[in-house]
Structure 1
């Protein structure tokens, strides 16, 4: 699909007229959505953001309630090459502001525009030129009746400005509280996700889990085994990390769980896990075989259970404990 910038006199596109992709590093961004169901503060902020974008672009076919899907704004119109986070209203890239094809500024919020206009008028009134001198070289006295009206007007303007500033400060405070809450929730969700992804954090600092899932005594031993196998494990084109490959294989050996069940735990296909088990068990056999030593005969007799000694005497050399793994 061909994307083009909708800003006046901007001709940036994703493809040329022959349908070839243009690789010039220009990115395209859609208009922000009005989030109405995530709280009144966020709803009001995203509404103003959408209004600001519409006012900045000033395209006749674009209104607040009607923005065609093919309308985009390219990175050329932002200082940092991309829009700022929607909650950062003070960021210069909160709305597109560069190379907009027009110089007129249109207010997107009439209340704030009127407040700014009143402040400008008040400053202009304070800096007005002094009254001309009369024929006697004295400046005429001001009308006493007019003085209270002017002071009253200034007081009203200042009161409105103070009220508006207090409302804006209150909104900024609420926004910071909301941002902090969302950041805290985001960190909590990331921690919970890492616990469920069957990665290192799933077993780290929990030797009880390590013994249950792998049969190894502690997490350090598990990582030592992984270090020995890592150079020989296939690491390209894999959906599972080397740690997940080893863990899933040890879980199959230790718990004798169905392949499909473990595939669900690791969020991969059954065929993927079967291939992983086959490759990992082969690597383990090749590189860990020197670690398996057959005890001497007298050592086996020393550790033989008493019931076997009474029943079979010295004829028993070793007791083999077998387990069954279903294969395809």
Structure 2
């Protein structure tokens, strides 16, 4: 099938032996639109037989690289110029024909008037003819040389354009590789989901959790409760990660604001909201009182003979305040557990600390943690006011490494409070609880204190818990998820 170039004024056709190439219009809609615009034929649309010849590309062929100048045809002559060139060519041909006829007429008139003319007259004419022929030949030669030089220049431009396209392709490939390397570097340095996915050590350092699978499980559990949070610049994962970093590394809010590129107020609000969500959804899942059958089934050998009914091992731990507690705050904290006791717990402890009662299963996981009270509140008042006694069943044994003065309170629930009798046993029980407490504090440095004052204000009247009370509970829940039980030996 013979194809003709669709460009207005272009007479190129596909014929046998032609070096030209003829291209279909592209299938890509955007590129096809640009080709049609380049052809510039008003109201015209190509069909399946429409072709564009290779003379309309700088390099003499189309290039499918969008960055190449020959991705779209660009070599065209306007229709007006083509018409002018055609008219000029027609005028030149008419003038040459007229001159030829005039010469023929003079030659015929000379033959009739002079009998063919003398040799002398003929010689100048011949000389003139030779001169004209020579001039015409010289002009033709000059024209051929000009055309040849123009052709060489055009071919040079085509070669230069082709080389440029190759260089552009190489430069584009190098830029793509550099861009990919920069993306990977940014991902490694950023605090994002992708940067932690395959790096367990990074997960452990920033969150305290053992691997990304556990972190992802926590995220899956919390995500449905985070829909109402307002943090446009932070994803749900980043909100969780920011909060865990606050608990894990005890970073200041401004530090976290710089790391995540947000305002300090956003960090403060995010931490408080996330702690509240984790306290209501994660803590009940990870910190719970086991059934008696489960406790006896997994009781460590060290207690199986001496205390087979041991349900929990208890102790108290303390966290200092960042600033001394005012008298008003002391009264607010004391009101949680009733009137001030007659005796101090822990030998006259300072009121400028928060004290918590913690219960640890013999298997090494935290099964109970109280709300915080001022350090000068007795252990007995704390135990009686925090809800710990309600967990006990008749016949349960509560074990401790030291006397907490809660014998009568435990007995009222039908349970038995025991302090390890032998010094070695007492030391072992005490180390067991201290080991679990130290694990939680080591894993979440915020529990080592001092506690900032915004975290100590009561944020929920229903539960009477401060934000830091929830932080302690969340830290214990996260510690239980780390499969880091320290069984009593």
TM-score by length of structure 2 reads 0.37
1:293 aligns with 2:417: no
Instruction: Choose between structure 1 and 2 for higher RCO, CA contacts under 8 A separated by at least 6 residues.
Output: 2
Give 1:247 shift: 0.7
- The residue correspondences of 1:34-53 to structure 2 (distance < 5 A) are none
Aligned equivalents of 1:182, 1:176: Cα separation in 2: 10
Give SS of 1:198's match: coil
Task: From the superposition, tell whether residues 93 and 215 of structure 1 become closer, same or farther in structure 2 (CA, over 3 Å).
Answer: farther
Which is higher, the Rg of structure 1 or of structure 2? 2
Unpaired runs of 5+ residues, structure 2, are 1-65, 105-132, 296-309, 313-360, 365-398, 402-419, 442-446, 455-489
Whichever structure has more strand as a proportion of its residues is 2
Match 1:256 to one of 244, 250, 259 = 250
Aligned equivalents of 1:178, 1:314: Cα separation in 2: 69
Aligned equivalents of 1:201, 1:187: Cα separation in 2: 15
Give SS of 2:448's match: coil
In the other structure, the counterpart of 2:154 is 161
Give SS of 2:209's match: coil
- The residue correspondences of 1:39-78 to structure 2 (distance < 5 A) are none
Aligned residues: 212
In the other structure, the counterpart of 2:12 is none
Give 1:165 shift: 1.7
Q: Is the 8 A contact 1:203 1:209 kept in 2?
A: yes
Q: Is the 8 A contact 2:69 2:165 kept in 1?
A: no
1:318 aligns with 2:433: yes
Give 1:243 shift: 0.4
In the other structure, the counterpart of 2:167 is 174
Give 1:248 shift: 1.1
Give 1:270 shift: 1.9
In the other structure, the counterpart of 1:269 is 263
- The residue correspondences of 1:34-183 to structure 2 (distance < 5 A) are 89=69, 143-183=136-176
User: Root-mean-square deviation (CA), in Å?
Assistant: 4.2
Aligned equivalents of 1:261, 1:220: Cα separation in 2: 27
Aligned equivalents of 1:93, 1:148: Cα separation in 2: 33
Unpaired runs of 5+ residues, structure 1, are 1-85, 95-103, 106-115, 136-140
Q: Is the 8 A contact 1:235 1:241 kept in 2?
A: no
Instruction: Give per-residue Cα distances to partners, 1:168-196, cap 9 Å, x unaligned.
Output: 22222222222333333333333333334
Give SS of 1:318's match: helix
Task: From the superposition, tell whether residues 149 and 93 of structure 1 become closer, same or farther in structure 2 (CA, over 3 Å).
Answer: closer
Aligned equivalents of 2:171, 2:428: Cα separation in 1: 76
Aligned equivalents of 1:257, 1:237: Cα separation in 2: 19
Give 1:273 shift: 0.8
Give 1:91 shift: 6.5
Task: From the superposition, tell whether residues 88 and 148 of structure 1 become closer, same or farther in structure 2 (CA, over 3 Å).
Answer: closer
Give 1:254 shift: 1.6
Give SS of 2:220's match: helix
Aligned equivalents of 1:154, 1:302: Cα separation in 2: 97
Q: Is the 8 A contact 1:301 1:314 kept in 2?
A: no
Instruction: Give per-residue Cα distances to partners, 1:183-233, cap 9 Å, x unaligned.
Output: 333333333333343110120111111112111121111111101100111
Aligned equivalents of 1:278, 1:199: Cα separation in 2: 21
Aligned equivalents of 1:235, 1:197: Cα separation in 2: 23
Give SS of 1:273's match: helix
Task: From the superposition, tell whether residues 209 and 313 of structure 1 become closer, same or farther in structure 2 (CA, over 3 Å).
Answer: closer
In the other structure, the counterpart of 1:282 is 276
Give SS of 1:158's match: helix
Task: From the superposition, tell whether residues 236 and 287 of structure 1 become closer, same or farther in structure 2 (CA, over 3 Å).
Answer: same
